[in-house]
Amino acid sequence: RLEEFFREAIKASPEHPVLVDKFLAGAVEVDVDVLGDGSAAVVAGMMEHVELAGVHSGDSACSLPPHSLAAAIQEEIRRQ
């Protein structure tokens, strides 16, 4: 069934990738804006969604800066 789904998706839109998502219960969604020049990157902003992950970004309230992300998590996001 999954193979058939992928075949149909590729046939319907061969120039676009097929994306597979997984819902993570209790997860927090974070948007990160990064500026880069090809060799270096800087995190310009980190915005935490107030609702749990799964609510569409356009329907979600957000907090800038993040309101509940631990400093260690924010640093790990910057490191990546």
Q: What is the pLDDT of residues 7-58, one digit of tens each?
A: 998 999 888 888 877 778 888 889 999 999 999 999 999 999 888 777 777 7
pTM more than 0.75: no
Kindly write down the DSSP assignment for every residue of 19-74, as one continuous string. P-----TT-EEEEEEEEE-SS-EEEEEEEEEEEETTS-GGG--EESS-SS--HHHH
